Amino acid sequence: MASSPVSAGSGTPAAPADVQALSYEQARDELVRVVNELEQGSATLEQSLALWERGEALASRCEEWLIGAKARLDAARGAVAE
């Protein structure tokens, strides 16, 4: 089985390039679809593993967006307080 590419220095798998290009809403919507498909339980083991990996990449992308949004809000609050 081939291993996933790893982000430099992080030790975690790198998200596929197509996931990195998604907006928060796109990644969230696809993550919901992936979770629903996994919950149905009709996928083969191999399909389930692929869906799980895709879901992990999508969840990481959503987290990146949320961390960035929080940083922007914190910066805006800091600018207003000054």
pLDDT of 14 = 60
pTM score: 0.76
Residue 71 confidence (pLDDT): 97
CA distances from 1 to 4, 31, 48 (A): 10, 24, 15
Q: Residue 21 has what DSSP assignment?
A: T
Within 8 A by CB and 6+ apart from 16, the residues are 57
- Give which of 32, 29, 27, 35 is closest to 58, Cα–Cα: 27
pLDDT at 3: 38
pLDDT tens-digit series, residues 24-81: 999 999 999 999 999 999 999 999 999 999 999 999 999 999 999 999 999 999 888 7
| 3-class secondary-structure state, position 82 | coil
The pLDDT-based confidence of 13 (bands split at 50, 70, 90) is low
Q: Which residue reads 């949320």 in tokens?
A: 66
Q: Hey, what domains does the chain have and what are their CATH numbers?
A: 18-81 (1.10.287)
Termini Cα distance of the chain: 55
